[in-house]
Amino acid sequence: MGFISTSIARKVAMALSGLFLVFFLGQHFVINISSVIDPDTFNSWSHFMGTNGLVQFLLQPVLIFGVIFHFIMGFILEYQNRKARAINYKSFKGNNNSSWASRNMLISGVVILAFLGLHFYDFWVPEIVHKYIESHPEDPSRYFPELVHKFESPVRVGLYALAFILLIFHLWHGFSSSFQSVGFNNKYSRALKGFTRLYAVLIPLGFVFIALYHHFNQLPH
């Protein structure tokens, strides 16, 4: 226990949970983008994810735990870090030595967290209600229309886009930073950093693209 409560262990835990979420994000993206390419593939993948026992009863709780752990730990660390400087500088030029994204992970994180709330309310809660409370019979073709329908409202699409823009900032720093945290810094780091930055920009933009695509290609009601 002594070990896990130290600064480095916490930072590593933060990095590992972050990497796990980044991996999940990539997997989520692959399924979502299929909705643009081929609705049937999207339906079948979604059906698998929604009904497979391993996914539902093992991966899903792990994921939820990962999200909760990442943000609680984030708050704890932020609290400690603020305490470490009791009196603030009158003049502090952070931009001269570090990026905005790296200094404001809390801001980008909180926006993403708020979005996750919306996202759960939009997709996850209805899904759970649909499956486990109202106990509807299985319908492998319902996923695509439900998805497209959610992107009808321009406000919702706007919020969705905003959250993903902040996710770019969060990943821009967080993804490469997590490798440094677990001690990976060597001659491959430059290339890896390039990859993480590309990922940080392209994946969130991809999500935004999917949202816009469906917004402008609504199905008839």
Partner 1 sequence: MKLTLKIWRQKNATAKGSIQTYPIDGIDGDMSFLEMLDVLNTQLINKGEEPVVFDHDCREGICGTCSLQINGEPHGPDRLITTCQLHMRKFNDGDTIVIEPFRAKAFPVIKDLMVDRSSFDRIQQAGGYISVNTSGNTIDANAIPIEKDDADASFNAAACIGCGACVAACKNASAMLFTAAKVSQFALLPQGRVEASRRVLNMVEQMDKEGFGNCTNTGACEVECPKGISLENIARMNREYLSAGLKG
| Contact pattern for partner 1 over residues 14 through 53, marking x by CB under 8 A | ----------------------------------------
Instruction: Give the separation between CA 145 and CA 72, rounded to whole angstroms.
Output: 35
| One-letter amino acid of 37 | I
- The least CB distance from residue 100 to partner 1, in Å, is 10
Structure tokens at 202: 């392209």
For position 11 contacting partner 1 by CB under 8 A, the verdict is yes
CB of 173 to partner 1, least distance (A): 7
- Out of 51, 52, 81, 218, which residue is the one contacting partner 1 (CB under 8 A)? 81
Alpha helices in the chain, H assignment, sequence order: 7-37, 39-51, 53-54, 60-83, 100-103, 105-119, 125-128, 143-150, 154-181, 189-216
Is there binding between residue 216 and partner 1 (CB under 8 A)?
no
Site for partner 1 in 143-172 (CB under 8 A): none
Whole-number Å distance between alpha carbons of 108 and 172: 11
**Which residues of this protein are in contact with partner 1, per CB under 8 A?**
3, 6-12, 77, 80-81, 83-94, 96-99, 102-103, 105, 173, 177, 180-186
